Amino acid sequence: MLTTSPAAEPGNGTPLSPAAADPRRWLALAAVSLATLMVVLDVSIINIALPQAQQQLGIAEANRHWVVTAYALTFGGLLLLGGKVADFAGRKRTLLISLVGFACASALGGIATTAPLFIAARALQGLFAAALAPAALALVNGSFTAPRERATAFGVYAAVQGTGGAVGLLFGGLLAEYTSWRWCMFVNVPIALVAAAAAGLTVRESRAAGVRRYDIPGAILATGGAGALVAGFTLAAESGWQSAATLGTLAAAAGLLGAFVFTQARHPAPMLPLRILTDRNRGGTYLVSVLIGAGMFGVLLFITYFLQVTLGYLPLRAGLAFLPFSGGIVLASLAVSALLPRTGPQPPMVLGMLLATLGMLWLTRVSGTSTWLSLVLPAEMLLGVGLGFVFVPLNSTALSGIEPNDAGVASALLSATQQVGGALGVALLNALYTARTATHLLESPGDAAGAALTAYRLVFAVGSGLFSVATLLTIFWLVSPKRQSSLV
């Protein structure tokens, strides 16, 4: 889920200056929305295709998470830098280049015959998405200046993003079942080219004024540190948590992330101004976002494998089986938007996290007799409604009281934390799944079904733990408006 703020540019947070109404603005909105739809659906479409891709490309269980994490890491890790590039290089130019680049990366993934090439293509998709997403948001922000039109435009933009996950699941199911998993990559090519052609004809160029300063070292350190963490989790699944390779890689990750914080405190134009994190509510919100991303991305991947591998669902049926989850998020988001002015952000967030945690706990009941109706559907409904209650107030809290010059960075950071958290969660849960499966097979050789079930229970339990920590943070760390005013 992409987190956005219509109030400011995502690259440097500077509000766009008023401009004459663009007569092609509604056509431009359609082109930009199509571009962002592709980015959003690509997060979910790969989950449905992954079981087939893993089998055909011979991807080991310990390494399959890289298909998801490679995209999430480059997307989340480079999102803030991508926003600044779009601001200064030109948002339209950045959008067009990113669309063509995304199409080429998708085509490369579709023709990949080896796992490393496929994973590299996914990383390239994330790189171009990191520039595309903030450029698209800034273009929408700059095309509509009348308040009523802006509200309508951002409503359309948000609706496209909200339905993108469901579209990806259905597209992925249809393409993987009736053609090949490869078309889950190829389908981006015509979408990207149509969006690029439409944007080229309808979108008006805009760029930010000022000195161009890009925090390249910060982007490298942040993405490299998160990537090293993922690599450490992968090595743990293969060699054990106490192996020299695992400990060395995790230590390198800590060093890179520590160096990132050091450089951000001293860079004249940091990718992430540390002052954004010093507010209690905002810092807590980003921690909650990381934990939600870690639990949600990881558990959705294993629900996919449970449906397709354990229950034997075909890809289309598996995609349809996820619709209650997407529907729950959309409906709950609409409901909480109406409640938020009366309740404030904390009460719906607490309720939402409690429901989502119950959904995770329900999944730990998985057994040899579990079905979609008895296990997955109740969990999906709790997870979808719960997360829907969380996402809207999460956005509100992340931007509450922010300085205008930091609003864009704060908004983009929320999306980045979800993506990077998702990458780390998928890697961690996959490492635990692989290790538990191997242990069970050593104890009970030949019991592959039992090994899978015990591993499912472990990853769902850890997912519950991640959500439980997020719940405690929303209760005890985030400060409600009334209490906050009393502390000032």
Give the tens place of pLDDT for each residue, 438-467.
Answer: 999 999 998 999 999 999 999 999 999 999
CATH of residue 175's domain is 1.20.1250.20
- What is residue 210's predicted lDDT score, i.e. its pLDDT? 63
The predicted structure's pLDDT at residue 14:
41
Higher pLDDT, 104 or 211: 104
> How does pLDDT run across 80-101, given as a tens digit for each residue?
888 888 888 888 999 999 999 9
Residue-number span of the structural domain to which 160 is assigned: 22-204
Whether residue 278 sits in one domain with residue 197? no
Pick the last residue of a domain from 176, 204, 232: 204
Q: Is residue 221 part of a domain?
A: no
Who's near 294: CB < 8 A, 6+ residues apart?
421, 422, 424, 425, 428, 466
With tokens 């695992």, the residue in question is 246
Question: What is the model's pTM?
Answer: 0.84
Domain annotation covers residue 212: no
DSSP 8: S
In the predicted model, is pLDDT for residue 418 greater than 60? yes
Residue of 4, 26, 353 whose CA lies nearest to 162: 4
Clarify whether residues 285 and 411 are in a common domain: yes
pLDDT band at 487 (very low <50, low <70, confident <90, very high): very low
Burial 312-322 (b: 16+ CB within 10 A, else e): ebebbebbbbb
Q: Are 71 and 42 in contact (CB under 8 A)?
A: yes
* Six-digit token string for 45: 């479409």
State how far the Cα of 94 lies from the Cα of 63, in Å rounded to an integer.
Answer: 32
Residues 199 and 281 in one domain: no
Q: Mean of the per-residue pLDDT values for the chain?
A: 86
Judge contact between 438 and 36, C-beta under 8 A.
Answer: no
Q: Residue 371 has what pLDDT?
A: 96
Band (19; pLDDT cuts 50, 70, 90):
very low
Domain count, the chain: 2
Q: What is the pLDDT of residues 243-259, one digit of tens each?
A: 999 999 999 999 999 99
Q: Are residues 170 and 281 in the same domain?
A: no
In a domain, 268, yes or no: no
- CA atoms of 80 and 272, how far apart (whole Å): 8
pLDDT tens digit sequence for 326-336: 889 888 888 88
Q: Which residues of 130-161 are buried (b: 16+ CB within 10 A; e: fewer)?
A: bbbbbbbbbbbbbbbbeeeebeebbebbbebb
In angstroms, the CA 381 to CA 404 distance is 37
Residue 373: count of CB within 10 angstroms of its CB: 9
- The mean pLDDT value for 301-326 works out to 93
Identify whether 231 is part of a domain.
no
Provide the pLDDT for residue 37: 87
Task: With beta carbons less than 8 A apart as the criterion, state whether 411 and 418 touch.
Answer: no
Stretch among 49-63, 152-166, 231-245 having the lowest mean pLDDT: 152-166
pLDDT tens-digit series, residues 338-364:
888 888 888 999 999 999 999 999 999
Check residue 408 and give its pLDDT.
Answer: 66
Identify whether 175 is part of a domain.
yes
- Say yes or no: 293 and 189 in one domain: no
Q: Which range among 116-125, 200-209, 358-367 shows the weakest confidence by mean pLDDT?
A: 200-209
Average pLDDT over every residue of 109-131: 95
Residue at 288 is within a domain: yes
Q: Is the pLDDT of residue 213 over 80?
A: no
Query: What are the backbone angles phi and psi of residue 270, rounded to the nearest 5°?
Result: -65, 150
Residue that terminates a domain, selected from 189, 204, 219: 204
